[in-house]
Chain A
Amino acid sequence: MVSYVIRRLLQAALVMLVVAFVSFSLFRFAGDPVNNMVGQEATQEDRRELRERLGLNDPFPVQFGRFVVDALQGEFGISYRLQRPVEDLIAERMPATLELVLVSAVLALITGIPLGVYCGIHRDSWVSRALLTVSLIGVSLPTFVIGILLIYLFSVQMLVLPSFGRGEVVQIGWWSTGFLTFSGWQALILPSITLSLFQLTLIMRLVRSEMLEVMRTDYIKFARARGLSNRAINFGHALKNTLVPVITIVGLNIGSLIAFSIITETVFNWPGMGLLFIKAVQFADVPIMAAYLTMVAFVFVSINLLVDLLYYAIDPRLKVDRGTAAGRLS
């Protein structure tokens, strides 16, 4: 177990290094930042001086080495556009994105799983057929369309919810939260629904198909023969057996929620990291882009690690010590 975790951590470190390398080298071709930083009237001399100051004249390995060493200390350089440390910019924007993602993920899980269980058990009822049909919309409609539709309905037509921004936020240390104000919650509703809809339908459909699979197994039949209650069978025996694939997908999806909240943040002008990234791309603000990509990779790698550890918590077969297994199959 411990050796497994250590092995996984080493793998994770390697993955991070590769990602850092790829993102760093890619961004060298994302355009010349100096062009954007200096004005039209800047002389050749000004430009050369700036390049020297930013270290852009050093050889590639030196620049990359500097990037990695700084990143390990949590430093990603100075934003070319905003002229402030990147880590500060990200720290400022992170609470907005994380709160949005948290609410979306919770929303997707607490509605997606019960709906999936319901559809898996009552596969032929008209309710589950209807849910399944509607869920197709969730899976296939692009996020920005959903967002714009919601804005049109609730902000333009009904005038009940704000169409952009976070509302009032309260500062707790460096963390700014929208959870403590009414307008903060109001502002969260539309973006979190927009962001969670795809995940919700995906989770629902996944849980449903896994449930259908599990309900056919012998141990469910035997559980019925033992006279267990439906609740114990459906939620105790069946649902737990669907969890391994569900956790895999959900884990990866929470990663992509964080990484790809960009679109939702753009639609709702949500002051999160996604918006920061989009603006950085437009400006070829390499330090921000590199930091963002590295951070997204870090999120994915840690979620993957967490998911692998959760498997152990769920499935005792993975902890098999070969001695007592006595060479059995499965």
Chain B
Amino acid sequence: MAMANPLLQVRNLVVEFPTRRGTLTAVDDISFDIAEGEVLGVVGESGAGKSMTGAAVIGLLEPPGRIASGEVLLEGRRIDNLPYEKMRRIRGKEIGAIFQDPLTSLNPLYSIGRQLTETIMTHTDMTPTQARARAVELLAEVGIPAPERRVDQYPHQFSGGMRQRVVIALALCVNPRLIIADEPTTALDVSIQAQIIALLKRLCREHGTAVMLVTHDMGVIAETADRVAVMYAGRIAEIGPVREVIKNAKHPYTHGLMGSIPAIGHDADRLEQIPGSMPRLTDIPPGCAFNPRCLHAFDRCRRDRPELIAVDDGQVSCWLYDTAAGRTTAEAKAIVASRSGTAMERADG
């Protein structure tokens, strides 16, 4: 899918982890774009490579993890091969980050204000007085009451939700173009989650900040994202506009994922579930990584790895949508939507 002027482009990114028992590929040849001001949701199970992708973009892969190949471009400039010092100046200033656990993201020994001013002064020419005024302003913006007083307090004096607001203020303090939010609400109470997501959404809209929102919570994605990328075993299974992916899932994995979400008002006796579990990085099957669990897998799925194929407004990596097979998109979707394991034979015959 070509985008007019993507802010972030990820091209054929491969992230590897050398271990004693051989090299593991955590992110396997993925490509996607994020437009100015767009919210891209990245969903997947634990270990699908979604957090790794975020860490690779911001250049903070934990060693020995490394980008083995591929490119990351910010406004057309390559940033994945920058020397440490240059990348450091991009982090925080152009790409901000929010991590999962607000309770541990803040240094317990420094006041909130000190952590804010330190970040502001690292990236701008502000004087300490200006930076402090900006810090108070930011705290007010993220909805912290009495910011003039709170600015001098320490992280332990804030509740979990308040701390995540502070973390958001820290990520946004010099107006980055892109924020990578890695499970920003997972560690919080459900009631606080909605507030934090609403805050993040509002701030990013106001500042025109793009967001890469990594989560395993489809509800958060549905509420927040413009587009969503579904990851499975280090690859993108499907990417497209959020309504499209949720209402009209094309990949059998996405379809199964949506079926497993309980819906209020539907009196289903049992939730659907996808049989089996995601393969470990050490034994990803040949062909499509999902094929052992897929109800609709056929020979080719076990042999060749599907690339992303453009379907409607999105892309999906599934051989069912291979135009060379002479199947229409509608037929392929019908197969995915059917629950029977024999659907494939019918379609083939």
Complex Cα–Cα for A58 and B168 (A)? 75
Report yes or no: A320 in contact with B157, Cβ–Cβ below 8 A: yes
Contacting residue for A225 out of B58, B118, B158, CB 8 A: B58
Report yes or no: B109 in contact with A217, Cβ–Cβ below 8 A: no
- Is A228 on the interface with B (CB-CB < 8 A)? yes
| In the complex, chain A residues whose CB is within 8 Å of the CB of B171 | 225-226
User: Could you mark each residue 197-215 of chain A with 1 if its beta carbon is under 8 Å from any beta carbon of chain B, else 0?
Assistant: 0000000000000000000
| In the complex, chain A residues whose CB is within 8 Å of the CB of B66 | none
Complex Cα–Cα for A41 and B154 (A)? 75
- Is B90 on the interface with A (CB-CB < 8 A)? yes
Chain A residue at smallest Cβ distance from B109: A240
Contacting residue for A228 out of B105, B122, B154, B159, CB 8 A: B122
Chain B residue at smallest Cβ distance from A317: B156
| In the complex, chain A residues whose CB is within 8 Å of the CB of B110 | 237, 240
Closest Cβ–Cβ distance, residue B108 to chain A (whole Å): 6
Closest Cβ–Cβ distance, residue A327 to chain B (whole Å): 9
Complex Cα–Cα for A26 and B224 (A)? 76
Complex Cα–Cα for A325 and B60 (A)? 32
User: Could you mark each residue 213-230 of chain A with 1 if its beta carbon is under 8 Å from any beta carbon of chain B, else 0?
Assistant: 000011101111111111
| In the complex, chain B residues whose CB is within 8 Å of the CB of A217 | 104
Complex Cα–Cα for A121 and B318 (A)? 45
Contacting residue for B109 out of A229, A241, A329, CB 8 A: A241
Report yes or no: A227 in contact with B91, Cβ–Cβ below 8 A: yes
- Is A314 on the interface with B (CB-CB < 8 A)? yes
| In the complex, chain B residues whose CB is within 8 Å of the CB of A320 | 156-157
| In the complex, chain B residues whose CB is within 8 Å of the CB of A70 | none
Please report which residues of chain B, range 87-114, place their CB below 8 angstroms from some CB of chain A when the two chains form the complex.
Answer: 88-93, 96-97, 99, 101, 103-111
User: Could you mark each residue 234-278 of chain A with 1 if its beta carbon is under 8 Å from any beta carbon of chain B, else 0?
Assistant: 001100110000000000000000000000000000000000000
Report yes or no: A228 in contact with B118, Cβ–Cβ below 8 A: yes
Report yes or no: A324 in contact with B157, Cβ–Cβ below 8 A: yes
Report yes or no: A229 in contact with B122, Cβ–Cβ below 8 A: yes
Complex Cα–Cα for A240 and B157 (A)? 19
Closest Cβ–Cβ distance, residue B114 to chain A (whole Å): 10
Given A232-B118, A232-B122, are A219 and B106 also a contact pair (CB < 8 Å)? yes
- Is A316 on the interface with B (CB-CB < 8 A)? yes
Complex Cα–Cα for A325 and B107 (A)? 16
Report yes or no: A328 in contact with B160, Cβ–Cβ below 8 A: yes
Report yes or no: B160 in contact with A221, Cβ–Cβ below 8 A: no
Complex Cα–Cα for A227 and B94 (A)? 10
- Is A158 on the interface with B (CB-CB < 8 A)? no
Report yes or no: B109 in contact with A218, Cβ–Cβ below 8 A: no
- Is B119 on the interface with A (CB-CB < 8 A)? yes
| In the complex, chain B residues whose CB is within 8 Å of the CB of A314 | 109
Report yes or no: A219 in contact with B105, Cβ–Cβ below 8 A: yes
| In the complex, chain B residues whose CB is within 8 Å of the CB of A224 | 60, 88, 91
| In the complex, chain B residues whose CB is within 8 Å of the CB of A229 | 88, 122
| In the complex, chain A residues whose CB is within 8 Å of the CB of B99 | 218, 221-222, 225
Closest Cβ–Cβ distance, residue A198 to chain B (whole Å): 29
- Is A6 on the interface with B (CB-CB < 8 A)? no
Report yes or no: B108 in contact with A315, Cβ–Cβ below 8 A: yes
Complex Cα–Cα for A226 and B93 (A)? 8
The number of chain B residues touching the other chain, given as a range, is 35 or more
Report yes or no: A241 in contact with B156, Cβ–Cβ below 8 A: no
| In the complex, chain A residues whose CB is within 8 Å of the CB of B103 | 329-330
- Is A326 on the interface with B (CB-CB < 8 A)? yes
- Is B255 on the interface with A (CB-CB < 8 A)? no
Complex Cα–Cα for A316 and B155 (A)? 9
| In the complex, chain B residues whose CB is within 8 Å of the CB of A237 | 107, 110
| In the complex, chain A residues whose CB is within 8 Å of the CB of B90 | 227
Report yes or no: A317 in contact with B108, Cβ–Cβ below 8 A: yes
Contacting residue for A227 out of B93, B156, B158, B159, CB 8 A: B93
| In the complex, chain B residues whose CB is within 8 Å of the CB of A226 | 91-92, 96-97, 119, 122, 170-171
Closest Cβ–Cβ distance, residue B145 to chain A (whole Å): 12
| In the complex, chain A residues whose CB is within 8 Å of the CB of B105 | 218-219, 222
Report yes or no: B91 in contact with A225, Cβ–Cβ below 8 A: yes
Looking at B58, B101, B110, which has the most chain A CB atoms within 10 Å of its CB?
B110
Given A232-B118, A237-B107, are A225 and B156 also a contact pair (CB < 8 Å)? no
Complex Cα–Cα for A228 and B118 (A)? 8
Looking at A226, A232, A237, which has the most chain B CB atoms within 10 Å of its CB?
A226
| In the complex, chain A residues whose CB is within 8 Å of the CB of B88 | 224, 227-230
Looking at A224, A225, A237, A324, which has the most chain B CB atoms within 10 Å of its CB?
A225
| In the complex, chain A residues whose CB is within 8 Å of the CB of B107 | 219, 223, 237, 241
Complex Cα–Cα for A250 and B252 (A)? 61
Closest Cβ–Cβ distance, residue B111 to chain A (whole Å): 8
Q: What is B's interface to A at a CB cutoff of 8 Å?
A: 58, 60, 88-93, 96-97, 99, 101, 103-111, 118-119, 122-123, 153-154, 156-160, 167, 170-171
Q: List 14 A-B contacts (CB under 8 A).
A: A221-B99, A225-B96, A226-B170, A228-B88, A228-B92, A228-B118, A241-B107, A241-B109, A314-B109, A316-B111, A316-B156, A317-B156, A328-B160, A329-B103
Q: A218-B101, A326-B159 are in contact. List 20 more A-B contacts (CB 8 A).
A: A219-B106, A219-B108, A221-B99, A222-B99, A223-B107, A225-B97, A226-B96, A226-B171, A227-B89, A229-B88, A230-B88, A232-B118, A240-B109, A240-B110, A316-B108, A316-B156, A325-B156, A325-B157, A328-B156, A330-B103
